[in-house]
Amino acid sequence: MTDEPVAREQIETILDAVRWAPTAGNRHLQRFVATTDPGTLRVLRMVSPGMIAKPTAAIAVCVDHALVAEYGFPPENHGPWIDVGTATATLLLAAQAVGLGAGPVSSFSRAAVGVVLDLPEGWVAELVVCLGHPAPDQPRAIKPARLTWRDLTHWVP
């Protein structure tokens, strides 16, 4: 990613798209925290070993566990993580649509990220999505095997 700042309007467009992501039971148990602050991003990288890129913006995809409990769901309920997945997929597509590069990071200290982002009580960051303008020169990609849908699918007779 380049060091060019991400415009707040781009982030707001992404967040507006993300609110339309499908959610388990249409309950919207996911929450988002966005930042473009260079100091916050620097500290966020320090507590996120999986954050290889140097983003100029980031959005944390969180689960509001207080709301999960309010709905009466047990802690092992998988619905909130479905919300995280659909929100993240929508966020990544929206970032691409506004011309930004984006990459999810799951390797980080949840407790430290909670402090760095001053998360409200009950919110837990599950993914952090790095955002930035793609650099013209990209590292050489690892050549993955070209899988087809047939490679990924098991048909039940």
- How far apart (Å, rounded) are the C-alpha atoms in residues 100 and 49? 22
CATH of the domain at 80: 3.40.109.10
- How far apart (Å, rounded) are the C-alpha atoms in residues 157 and 155? 6
- How far from chain centre, in Å, is Cα 10? 15
Determine the residue type at 55: P
- How far apart (Å, rounded) are the C-alpha atoms in residues 48 and 156? 41
Confidence at residue 141, expressed as pLDDT on a 0 to 100 scale: 66
Query: How crowded is residue 77: how many other Cβ atoms within 10 Å of its Cβ?
Result: 14
Instruction: Count up the domains in the chain and report the number.
Output: 1
In which residue are the tokens 């991003």 written? 41
Confidence at residue 75, expressed as pLDDT on a 0 to 100 scale: 78
Confidence at residue 25, expressed as pLDDT on a 0 to 100 scale: 85
1 located within any domain: no
Domain extent, residue 75, equals: 8-132
For 111-151, what is each residue's pLDDT tens digit? 999 999 999 999 999 999 999 999 888 767 677 778 899 98
156 located within any domain: no
State the pTM of this model.
Answer: 0.90
38 located within any domain: yes
All residue ranges of the chain with pLDDT < 50 are none
